Structure 1
Amino acid sequence: MRYTTFGRRSGLRVSELALGTGNFGTGWGHGAERDEARRIFDGYVEAGGNFFDTANGYQAGQAEVLLGEFLGSQRDDFVLATKYGLGTAPGAGIAHTGNNRKNLVRAVEESLKRLNTDHLDLLWAHITDGMTPIDEILRGFDDLVSAGKIHYAGLSNFPAWRIARADLLAELRGWAPLVGIQLEYSLAERSADRELLPMAEALGLGVTQWSPLGGGFLTGKYRAGNDDSRATKLGMLVHGEKSARETAILDALLGVAEEQGSSATQVAIAWLLHKARRSSTTLIPILGSRTREQFDGTLGALQVNLSDEQFERLSTASAIALGVPHEQALEMREPFAGGRDLQWPTVPVI
């Protein structure tokens, strides 16, 4: 396992793969029982991983409890990240959800108890509630940093414009800076290429990427019709072969996997790692296995070395239209590339 600092806004040292604990426990009616969760935890640590991602709502709080137990006396050997905002118990009401300061402080105290620790290395606002002013969130983060309850903070599943504004606001007011963002990203879901990833690279924010297998779609198993249980349980979190683009992705993925003598799962993760090594900021896929067998298979991605041609083939098959204004901006910049005469393109008057 390789290590890196989490973006350019911190010196926090993390492994190139994080372990997500959304499957630790059975509070949602599916997941890993304690002993299986422990085997996954041990496999990750044995591989050299040190970056754990959880949330107060995962498995109705069971994930944090189990992770805290597993970390035990070695707590400070690892980087521990959790989230607040969506509530813990199913059906949590308005007093226990949202980005507001009241919920932030309460949620952190409850997470610290479940995790059996007195501090968090990284706290995420889990998802924007669309209502809480961004300065309220940032000031809450800053107070928690000052109190030693958290070391770093970031925003998960927030739009780029809110993150960019928050980044500047924290800098201008001298508050604890945002160090990273969390978002969905994979060969199946590349919407972040439009705004979020360019923003993170420009601002030096670290990025953690959830659902790197598209909810299991990129394993190829749904194409064969062998396993639809996860798709039934998780619904929108699972991508499907619904268009020519998804078909092209799977065709390219399975083709590269055959060439590599690897699984589609391993190649999908290897593509993310290859992309991360080309980036000037930190991109960390979050593995979220339900069994030790699944985890061991996924971890094989570390042994897959994609050629540049294979990487580009997968990138081309999975590419999305960048849309306005990005594609127009690329066209406008074209005359300035390659040392040619500088002439503005003709722009029609609308």
Structure 2
Amino acid sequence: MHYKVFGRKTGLRVSELALGAGNFGTGWGHGAEREEAKRIFDGFLEAGGNFIDTANGYQGGQSEAMLREFIAPERDRLVVATKYTLGTTPAAGISHTGNSRKNMVRAVEESLKRLGTDHIDLFWAHISDGVTPMEEILRGFDDLVRAGKIHYAGLSNFPAWRIARADVLAELRGFAPIAAIQVEYSLVERTAEREMLPMAEALGLAATLWSPLGGGFLTGKYRNNDGDNRAAKLGMLIHAEKSARETALLDALLAVAVELDASPTHVAIAWLREKAKRSTTALIPILGSRTREQLDATLGALDVQLNAQQVSRLDGVSAVEAGVPHGTIVGSKPRYSGTETLDLPIIPVA
């Protein structure tokens, strides 16, 4: 596995793939017991991974609690990220949710205890609550950095305009910078190309990409549903074959997999790696494996190389409308590929 500098705002070095620990535990009724979670964790480290992503609310806190034991012998080697905003359980009450400084400070202290560590390498605001002023979030992050309780801060599932404003405010006021964003991105969900990824590219923010397999959709397993999967048991954060686009995409993905004697999982991750190669900042898929077998199958993508024609086919069949104002400027399809510039039309002056 290769390593990358985590965006242009840091000198932090992380593996090109991150391990998402959302399936560590069974608090949601679908996940991995301790023994299986440890096998997944060990397999990721054996492959050269060093970047672990979790959240205080994953499996009702079980994910962080399991990681406490797993990360202890390797703490200095690992980059551990966790999140706050959503709380651990609904019973915790309203004060345990949101982006407020009150919730941030409480959450970081609880996460430090569950993880059994004296610092968090990367601390995310998990999702925008639409209420807390960005100044409050930034000042809270800055205080935690100065106290040594976190090293870097990031914004997950925030709109682009709020992230861009945060970047400017942090620079102007001398706060710890926003280092990265986290956003859903995959062959089946490419709308991040409209605003989120170009913004990250321009501002030098790293981007960690959740659900790189579309919640399992891009594995092709939902076409032959066996009932033992996220769609059947968890029923959220998944994509489905609900339109002609998804059908055409899955058909193309399966066809490329046959050509390469690989799995559709390999092809989907290899496509993301091609996008990452073209980026001037770090784009890092997060692998959310529930079994060691799933992890091993996903890591096989490191040995898969797509040719230019295969990338073009997958790009074309998975494309999304650019939307306003992008379609007005550059046509009806997004052209983001990481580093390209735009040839704007010349508008005559009357």
**TM-score bracket for the superposition, by shorter chain length:** over 0.9
CA deviations over 1:60-96 (Å, ceiling 9, x no partner): 1110011121011320111000000000124431110
Contact 1:222–1:228 under 8 Å retained in 2: no
Q: How does 1:46-195 map to 2 (within 5 A)?
A: 46-195=46-195
Q: Secondary structure at the match of 1:31?
A: coil
Give 1:346 shift.
8.6
2:347: which partner in 1?
A: 344
Q: Secondary structure at the match of 1:235?
A: coil
Give 1:229 shift.
3.9
Identity of aligned residues (%): 71
In the aligned structure 2, how far is the partner of 1:25 from the partner of 1:263? 27
Range moving further from structure 2, 307-316 or 283-292:
307-316
1:251: which partner in 2?
A: 251
Using the size of structure 1 for normalisation, the TM-score is 0.94
Q: Secondary structure at the match of 2:153?
A: strand
Contact 1:221–1:227 under 8 Å retained in 2: no
In the aligned structure 2, how far is the partner of 1:228 from the partner of 1:243? 24
In the aligned structure 2, how far is the partner of 1:306 from the partner of 1:191? 22
Give 1:337 shift.
4.5
In the aligned structure 1, how far is the partner of 2:26 from the partner of 2:234? 14
2:223: which partner in 1?
A: 223
Q: Secondary structure at the match of 2:71?
A: helix
1:23 aligned onto 2:26: no
Give 1:329 shift.
1.4
In the aligned structure 1, how far is the partner of 2:231 from the partner of 2:171? 42
Give 1:142 shift.
0.2
2:261: which partner in 1?
A: 261
Letter of the aligned partner of 1:309 in structure 2?
Q
1:205 aligned onto 2:205: yes
Corresponding residue pairs, total: 341
Q: Secondary structure at the match of 2:224?
A: coil
Contact 2:120–2:149 under 8 Å retained in 1: yes
Give 1:234 shift.
3.2
2:305: which partner in 1?
A: 305
Aligned CA distance change for structure 1 residues 91 and 213 (closer, same or farther; 3 Å) = farther
Letter of the aligned partner of 2:212 in structure 1?
P
Aligned CA distance change for structure 1 residues 346 and 323 (closer, same or farther; 3 Å) = farther
Give 1:312 shift.
1.2
Give 1:235 shift.
2.7
Contact 2:29–2:233 under 8 Å retained in 1: no
Using the size of structure 2 for normalisation, the TM-score is 0.94
In the aligned structure 1, how far is the partner of 2:174 from the partner of 2:100? 20
CA-atom RMSD in angstroms: 1.7
Give 1:254 shift.
0.3
Aligned CA distance change for structure 1 residues 225 and 215 (closer, same or farther; 3 Å) = same
CA deviations over 1:78-120 (Å, ceiling 9, x no partner): 1000000000124431110100000000000000000000001
Q: Secondary structure at the match of 1:222?
A: helix
2:8: which partner in 1?
A: 8
Letter of the aligned partner of 1:5 in structure 2?
V
CA deviations over 1:169-225 (Å, ceiling 9, x no partner): 000000000010001111111110100000000000000000000000000011223
Aligned CA distance change for structure 1 residues 252 and 91 (closer, same or farther; 3 Å) = farther
In the aligned structure 1, how far is the partner of 2:213 from the partner of 2:160? 23
Structure 2: runs of 5+ lacking an equivalent: 332-341
Give 1:123 shift.
0.3
Structure 1: runs of 5+ lacking an equivalent: none
Give 1:274 shift.
1.0
